[in-house]
Structure 1
């Protein structure tokens, strides 16, 4: 296989990479903001330049050929390098202006970030802050966020992480709900009550059992992927929820229904790309978040 340097076209390489990751031309075209025919021509042009077939085209999807699988590794390395160049370039600006994208869970974004951002607006009033309030982990290397607040240590060595203060999560329920069903006096009593689930309840059963509370999915009449909605359901008497102690204690209508329950430990990590840490506007936001949370 011979590929002349003059024949290299990054647009074709990117078209192949995104198509391989998305699994179809239509999805890749949407991701790149191109028309499907344009994207198809770019992929075909790359196949011609390389002299190989990269995809088997079926009626349902595109499947990578063996050559495509082998080359995908190298093109991903190229994609990471392109992202690194973009990251390094953003670090050239030393003015505390511009756009900073922060990723955090909806609970963290709603109840912990606002007072910190208010202070930030006074220190750097020209910054534009965008917040992704999601429980999905953002990929910083692909620039899905500049800074992420996570509850687990990142494993990617290309990222820089700072561990902030840990906290704990406790059981909370509305006083109205407990007045109606009675306050549990044992782990067995607790197992008879209704819980508000976060994400998929079945994923929490083992964790609860390790603390002496034997639940089934029947204990969870309501569940949600939103921690802020879970809090509201708990406040309105739908059942017992597990909340960060700072959040639960902020509402006088809530109380811990069973203090003998062993709290859950919650780690908090502040994460950014190594090159982004040298960017002044990112560093200002990073340091202020570290101070405010940690």
Structure 2
């Protein structure tokens, strides 16, 4: 059975309902009335010949069809946003919007002074920063540029290594004041350790430097690296932190001989390499993050002009 393609705005309504979880919340997000959202969902279901939501006492429940087709609606939305960004900046190379994604720690602790220097040089630029520990899909154009800690393998992506950011074990001086200094991994058993909850990032990091067999008990667990950093600064216990951020925060190194290199990459879609505004941001970040990884800045100082 052949189907005609429904109006694109119906897919936008479908995506809003999936994101918000109810007709009323989707209506508020879209700035329209709830009956309109309901009618558009029903129109889309009729056009597709499929049920997208079932009604329950607690609200709408997405069907398997809705969950299976959600990535396509997300791709349509991301492509539409990328289309709008591609039309920005007719006034010159240094104008328009660039969407940048990175981890929470990098976005909140490292990038602000770097982006401040960039915007001072190019006041016509607009930066959309997405600090998230979820990997945004550059192939789907969720973002224009990404700061990543793993090298991408997709052929359609352009990746530039900016070096390796050093991380290690640190604690606040107040935490260590009344406790014996650890001299080895066995001594860490006598301390409160701050680590991840379910992500397994730290275990993989230990394995990468030949410590796959080491077992650490984390008494304070959270998968947010930003929350872990806040706990270290507050004196909760010993945790893993970027060396530059630890120096800035006045943290004390624990087991200072042990450091973990965190390879860092700047990534963008190959179609954007000749877009002037994207290239300006990309090149600036390569220089600035390269200096940060090499220890030439602590995350506060912008690179030299």
How high is the TM-score relative to the length of structure 1?
Answer: 0.75
CA deviation map 1:40-65 (0-9, x unaligned): 22232234445x23335332434437
Q: State the secondary structure of the residue aligned to 2:178.
A: helix
Q: State the secondary structure of the residue aligned to 2:170.
A: strand
Partner of 1:167: 165
Structure 1 residues not aligned, in runs of 5+: none
1:266 aligns with 2:265: no
Aligned residues: 284
Deviation at 1:156, TM superposition (A): 5.3
Q: State the secondary structure of the residue aligned to 2:190.
A: coil
- Structure 1 vs Structure 2 CA RMSD: 3.8
- The answer to whether the 8 Å contact 1:103/1:148 transfers is yes
Partner of 1:187: 185
1:1-294 maps to which residues of 2 (within 5 A)?
A: 1-3=1-3, 8-16=6-14, 19=17, 24-26=22-24, 28-30=26-28, 32-50=30-48, 52-55=49-52, 57-59=54-56, 60-64=59-63, 82=80, 85-86=83-84, 88-90=86-88, 94-140=92-138, 144-154=142-152, 158-197=156-195, 199-200=196-197, 203=200, 206=203, 210=211, 213-217=214-218, 220=219, 222-224=220-222, 226-251=224-249, 253-261=250-258, 263-294=259-290
Deviation at 1:285, TM superposition (A): 1.0
Deviation at 1:170, TM superposition (A): 0.8
2:227 and 2:64 map into 1 onto residues whose CA distance is 45
How high is the TM-score relative to the length of structure 2?
Answer: 0.72
Deviation at 1:283, TM superposition (A): 1.6
Tell me which structure has the larger Cα radius of gyration.
Answer: 1
2:90 and 2:96 map into 1 onto residues whose CA distance is 12
Classify 1:211/1:186 alpha carbon distance in 2 versus 1 (closer, same or farther; 3 Å): farther
